[in-house]
């Protein structure tokens, strides 16, 4: 990461793409936010990333896990935002529920639609 807290280097795009896919693979959608994400899900995600990329313990003066957490939290928020824009916004809750992407767990989708996105803070 550079001083702007972004991924840099010749493999930056590949890294971001991989991390984005792995966030979707390992992280449940029914966490209130990244800080409340199940720690075992985060650890599985970090293990996957570190298994592919030979990262030092420190990146730009920061602990590599802290740097990964920062990057993955952004990817997690973006994933949920894209889902909301495509499957929820402008639809009734029933339409959104019935239009669940096939890759999303039904219980997690129901939580997103009926609990998270329907909350006054998210409306």
Taking alpha carbons only, the member of 35, 106, 75, 101 closest to residue 114 is 106
**What integer pLDDT is reported at residue 9 of this predicted model?**
77
The structural domain count of the chain equals 1
Task: Note the pLDDT of residue 12.
Answer: 86
Whether 60 is covered by a domain: the verdict is yes
pTM of the predicted model as reported, rounded to 2 decimal places: 0.89
Mean pLDDT value of segment 85-113:
96
Residue 3 within any structural domain of the chain: no
The distance from CA 82 to its chain's CA centroid, rounded to whole angstroms, is 11
Kindly state whether residue 104 falls inside one of the protein's structural domains: yes
Residue 13 CA, chain-centre distance (Å), reads 16
Residue 109 located in a structural domain:
yes
Range of the domain at 40: 12-116
Please check whether residue 122 lies inside any domain of the structure. Answer: no
Is position 4 within any domain?
no
Residue 72 lies in a domain: yes
Q: Is the dihedral of CA 28, 36, 62, 43 positive or negative?
A: negative
């Amino acid at each position: 990461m550079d001083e702007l807290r972004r991924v840099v280097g010749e493999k930056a795009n590949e890294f971001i793409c991989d991390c984005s896919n792995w966030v979707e693979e390992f992280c449940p959608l029914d966490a209130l936010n990244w800080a409340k994400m199940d720690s075992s899900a985060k650890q599985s995600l970090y293990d996957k990333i570190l298994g592919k990329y030979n990262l030092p313990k420190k990146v730009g003066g920061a602990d590599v896990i802290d740097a990964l957490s920062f990057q993955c939290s952004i990817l997690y928020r973006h994933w949920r935002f894209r889902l909301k824009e495509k499957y929820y916004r402008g639809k009734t809750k029933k339409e959104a529920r019935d239009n669940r992407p096939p890759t999303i767990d039904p219980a997690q989708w129901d939580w997103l639609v009926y609990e998270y996105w329907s909350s006054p803070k998210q409306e």
